[in-house]
Chains A and B, each alone.
Chain A
Amino acid sequence: MQQIILDKLQPIFREVFDTPNLEIERSSSADTVAGWDSYAHINLIMAIEREFNIRFGLGELDQLTNVGELVDLMESKLNRPR
């Protein structure tokens, strides 16, 4: 499941950061991905919500430090019956 989420995230990251060969991993973060500023962050989160049909609650993203933790959070949302 986590790998599936990560694979589906690849094209979204490439689109948002406008980098066709970008490879993200669980350890990727704002420090390792060029251009991950607050604007790109808004873009990214809105795109993920749109593509995965999930919603992040207020403050849910504040404590995350890397893509791996984002994937974990997404997995818990996707597993929850909607």
Chain B
Amino acid sequence: MQTDIARLLTRPFDVSKILSKRRQIRHVLQNAGKHTEVRLAILGGSTTSELVDILELFLLKEGIQPVFYQSEFGRFYEDAVVDNAALRKFKPEVVLVHTTARNLQHIPEAGESGESVEHKLDLEFERFHSIWTCLQKEIGCLVIQNNFEPFPQRPLGNLDSVAAFGKNNFICRLNLRLAEHARKMSSWLLINDINYLAAQVGLGEWCEERYWYSYKLALSPTANVALAHNLTKILRAAFGKSRKVLVLDLDNTLWGGVIGDDGLQNLRLGNEAPEGEAFVAFQRYCLELKSQGVLLAVCSKNDLVTAQEGFTHPDSLLKLDDFAAFQANWEPKHENLVRIADSLNLGLESLVFVDDNPAEREIVSAQLEAVAVPDVGSDISRFAEIIDGEGYFEAVHISAEDIARAGLYQANAKREVSLGKFRSYDEYLLSLEMEAEIDVFNDYYLDRIAQLTNKTNQFNLTTTRYTAANLRHIAAAAGYVSLYGRLKDKFSDHGLISVVLGEVKERELHVLLWLMSCRVLKRGMEHAMLDALVAQCQNKGITGIYGRYLRTAKNGMVAKHYEEMGFECVSQSEQESTWRLDLSRGYENRNRFIQITSYATDHTRQVTADLPGSF
């Protein structure tokens, strides 16, 4: 339930769903753990009740329980400057001056002289300046001021941006004045950039005119949600709750391809190809974050040396020394994330984890609730946009101590273990709802099998390469046992990812080839393949299976494969080893997590319609 709600309050927003479920969302969030109370006054130039309602949801999600004060409609100036007893009594920690371009009083008119427009600019700036000054002097709180969004109508057309009396020219200049002042007063004055927000939402979507006329709502429901989200980023930053570390996967996150299988020179990285260019752009975005103080870290399932080699790629903007922590090994990622946080002496709530693989994202978000795991999807061209939209690393140029009263913003006591958390790795595997199709070679798959034998380097016991023609011959010949495996889970269909091939000699099977794609490591697929292999052998009256391991530069991870599968060692040297599994004493199936089907059960209906090679 809580994860569903977290998703609802993450971009892209389903605005109607947030609006229709808002009370339910509030109940759930309020009952989830402890919240820090923050006293927030909103001085509005429009109706503020809708904003308050939605803002509360976003703040609750961040562990903040707001207590609100709302000015009467339109009394933002009076409440701050003239008659602020009630506001003073409320003792706000933060005041938001929630105004929009509708609240401007000195708007230039067509044909007006430059001098006169300049005067209007001064008047308008002074009006807001006096609001901030009063709030600062008499209340001493943090002040957040909306800047101004463009006017949607521009009778002057494009000239509006050029002429000194252009209304949107005026808005631009006024916003710059606000920014200049906020830079000087950065210890207590922050800008809520609704000028950017209106562009992001779209000016046409920003306001619903009839709601302004009927209810004095300056924002459409969509804009209201976007504004609440944006304010939450500012408040999170102001209260020292922004995140500090961007933890990155490597393969298909920082470059295209799998470095352990494809090799450094075959990675898709560099501006010669569309995908390579997108990976370079994402690396550049990571570097921009680094240059503003965000720490970068790597968390990858790879051999350390192989992983590090990736950063020697000539087109890699990121270099090894850009990373404050580097975990590349075959341990579960949630364990490595804990190591990364420990090594940087930061809490897990400082981490953002980015991985193209949905299964990795799932286990990390389930095991480590505190880590932010954006759903970046698998399209690299969207990664930066999705991470950026959440504003995880938002900063304000004030130290948290300036505004944080003692003890007020200490991290929440450890939250109760969520129901969604897996109690064990086994439970996680079960939750994946894996299904494998395991069967003997058939014509439809031979090309894919050949391809796999030629590009799999890590989980590959003998690294023997085959062509499709070789394989066609083997599939037709007697005296071989050949199996392929396809795997899918609730997130995706991984396709054909494992192959085992053996030759029968005198009632013993000699395994020539055993390989598996690294995409499905630690899923128990190798157990399912062994079960199927043994079943085939038993049908043929085979009494034992021999397996060989031939060491290469890349297949160190499977050195103990046969041992782990319960084979006994026959001979062993530095470069190779031979193993045997005795079947005469019976065999108990190893697979516990994957439901097995065969080619026939999956394809009988389509097989006649499909042309060879269409897979």
Contact = CB atoms under 8 A, between A and B. Distances in A.
A22 interface: no
Interface string B362-400: 000000000000000000000000000000000000000
B50 A42 contact: yes
Contacts of B211: 42, 46
B464 interface: no
A58 B214 contact: yes
Given A15-B20, A46-B19, A58-B213, 18 more contacts: A15-B23, A18-B23, A38-B215, A39-B49, A42-B47, A42-B49, A42-B50, A42-B211, A42-B217, A46-B211, A46-B221, A47-B19, A47-B20, A50-B16, A51-B20, A58-B210, A58-B214, A61-B214
The prevalent SS among residues of B at the interface is helix
Contacts of A58: 210, 213-214
Nearest to B217: A42
Interface in A37-55: 38-39, 42-43, 46-47, 50-51, 55
Contacts of A50: 16, 19-20
B14 to A, nearest CB: 12
A42 B215 contact: yes
Contacts of A15: 20, 23
Contacts of A18: 23
Contacts of B215: 38, 42
Interface in B174-217: 210-211, 213-215, 217
Residue among A38, A51, A61 with most chain B CB within 10 A: A38
The prevalent SS among residues of A at the interface is helix
B177 to A, nearest CB: 34
Interface of B: 16, 19-20, 23, 47, 49-50, 210-211, 213-215, 217, 221
Nearest to A11: B20
Interface residues of A, number: 14
Contacts of B47: 42
A50 to B, nearest CB: 5
B131 to A, nearest CB: 25
Contacts of B23: 15, 18
A68 B221 CA distance: 27
A47 B49 CA distance: 15
Nearest to A37: B49
A44 to B, nearest CB: 11
A38 B214 CA distance: 11
Nearest to B50: A42
25 contacts: A15-B20, A15-B23, A18-B23, A38-B215, A39-B49, A42-B47, A42-B49, A42-B50, A42-B211, A42-B215, A43-B50, A46-B19, A46-B211, A46-B221, A47-B19, A50-B16, A50-B19, A50-B20, A51-B20, A55-B210, A57-B210, A58-B210, A58-B213, A58-B214, A61-B214
A61 B50 CA distance: 20
A38 B50 CA distance: 11
Nearest to B15: A50
Interface string A57-72: 1100100000000000
A47 B221 CA distance: 11
Contacts of A61: 214
Interface in A1-47: 15, 18, 38-39, 42-43, 46-47
